[in-house]
Amino acid sequence: MADIELRHITKTFNGVYALNDVSLSFNKGEVHAVVGENGAGKSTIMKVLSGLYFADSGEIWIDGEKKNIANVADAQKAGVSVVYQELNLMPSLTVAENIYLHNLPTKGVMVDQKEMNRKAQELLDRMHVSISASQKTEMLSVSEQQMVEIAKALSFDSDIIIMDEPTASLNVQEVDALYGIVRDLKKAGKAVIYISHRLKEIFDITDRVSILRDGHFIASYETKDLTEDILISNMVGRQISGHYTTADHPYGETVLEVKGLSKAGVYEDISFELHKGEILGIAGLMGCFREEIVQSLYGLVHPDAGKVVLNGTTVVDMEKGLNKLSTPLKANRQGIGYVTEDRKGSGIFALMNVRENLTISILDKLAKMGLVHGKDEQELLNRYTEQMHMKYSGFKQRIGSLSGGNQQKFLLARALATGCRLLIMLEPTRGIDVGAKAEIYSLLEDLAKSGMSILMISSELPEIIGNCHRSLVIFQGKLTGVLDQSEFDETLIMQCATGNQTYFTEVKR
């Protein structure tokens, strides 16, 4: 008998099966991945185990005892803690207060601040994380906040730790630190249930893998017996040939010239070209200011110096006080589209329906006599639904209820609906499954072949290497590399990204 068993779990939402008679088992002292496409049911079954959802039917057994987990408190008493992908911290509180908010140490009727800071710092030090327990959480980077989320889950000293996409916001060094934490938990006899869309992590860190598809259990494997192809075919129920497309079509004339773009304390002397039909990657470690560079082309960051020439016309010349890209609206009018990396925080309007999310950026273009007609919006929705294979129940469905992959397609469609010919995409496949990734890659390549120019920021080097014609590399706000596709090499890119080397190649067409 396994240490943790979920037996015949069924869960429906509005009559639709999210889980259909799913049984899974986990053991203490192992790292067990639960994988599947978005909508496969993996998050739902973890929410059943952690008390956020109550199953329609089925049983949960832990250490040979049947557990009635009706809420989060029940789960915590049963020894279950969760590291959520979405940050759930209170920014105005200190790191220590966030970690022990569920169980504040007291001295009499007062919170024992000194003891709380000591315990929190001890936990952070044990995780090899350079964060002060007394620091305000709002001062931390997103990746540091993710490490605080992990510390908060570990503070319960639970025997079962669920990690839901724990590396989504972490850089390479922090991922290595997380691996060390996971291995320590395994040595301590904890059960680590690991959810990730990053296949490399599954093979790096796990002992066993269970696969869900469309709310059904498909199979469990020892990780050592798995190959990437076997895993993917089980996840999606079909063969995906090449998980990345290859940008092998030629590109054309120069569309964008960035010359000496600078912003004090952020980035300095950034110069590059982007061509018609080219997919140009931008690689670099988190915190290197690559996002701020491209945001300067979309009015979200304002440079201090430099020039930008778009389609032969100077649109930014800071010495002359010219900036025709100073707001997102102005950038849209210049034919630039933008898809954020923060899909939930600054991308979708979660409570609005899918049609409203698609058309919200172009209501002025759709308006006739001051009114926007639903028929025109619906025609646009129908066109992009067919072109991008978007899945939803009807135009009134709230976009927040869609899978991550479908949300990402809607954000891409919204940008394209503006009529842009230069597309900026930040982390185009963050938090989406391998099947949806392949569809996004295919869409981007089709767009590039049609003449779209694409700037792609990605933290996943295989994504850069597999999809781009060329790539820039940024280190601490400086351009340290420009590599052609024929020179792509993970080691070389990382050397440039860590400031240990510079490498610049000539444009090859």
Domains in the chain, start-ordered, CATH in brackets? 4-236 (3.40.50.300), 245-335+422-427+453-509 (3.40.50.300), 342-419 (no CATH)
- H-state helical runs in 155-289: 172-187, 199-205, 228-236
341: nearest Cα among 463, 160, 239: 463
Task: Provide the CB-side half-sphere exposure for 333 (13 A, CA).
Answer: 11
Burial 168-179 (b: 16+ CB within 10 A, else e): bbbbeebbebbe
Give the pLDDT score at 245: 65
How many Cβ atoms from other residues are within 10 Å of residue 268's Cβ?
18
Give the pLDDT score at 420: 95
Give the pLDDT score at 239: 58
**C-alpha to C-alpha distances, 159 to 22, 42, 81, 310, 340, nearest whole angstrom:** 22, 20, 8, 57, 37
448: nearest Cα among 323, 317, 188, 274: 274
| This prediction's pTM | 0.66
Q: Scan for tokens 């469609």, then name that residue.
A: 413
Give the pLDDT score at 312: 96
Give the pLDDT score at 38: 65
Asked whether the beta carbons of 479 and 472 are under 8 A apart, the reply is yes
- pLDDT 10s per residue in the chain (509 long)? 789 999 999 998 777 788 999 999 999 999 999 988 767 888 899 999 999 999 999 999 999 999 999 999 999 999 999 987 767 789 899 999 999 988 888 888 898 899 999 999 999 998 888 899 999 998 887 778 888 988 888 888 889 999 988 887 676 777 888 898 899 899 999 999 999 877 888 999 999 999 998 899 999 999 999 988 888 788 877 655 555 666 788 999 999 999 999 999 999 999 999 999 999 999 987 678 999 999 999 999 999 999 999 999 999 999 999 999 999 999 999 999 999 988 887 889 989 999 999 999 888 888 777 777 878 889 999 999 998 888 888 899 999 888 888 899 999 999 999 999 999 999 988 877 777 788 889 899 999 999 999 999 998 888 899 999 999 999 989 999 999 998 998 888 888 987 888 998 876 55
Task: Provide the CB-side half-sphere exposure for 6 (13 A, CA).
Answer: 28
Give the pLDDT score at 22: 96
Q: In the numeric block, which tokens belong to residue 187?
A: 């040595």
Angle formed by the axes of helices 374-388 and 404-417, nearest 10°: 120
Helix (H) or strand (E) holding 328: helix 328-333
296: nearest Cα among 334, 345, 263, 340: 263
Give the pLDDT score at 161: 93
Give the pLDDT score at 450: 94
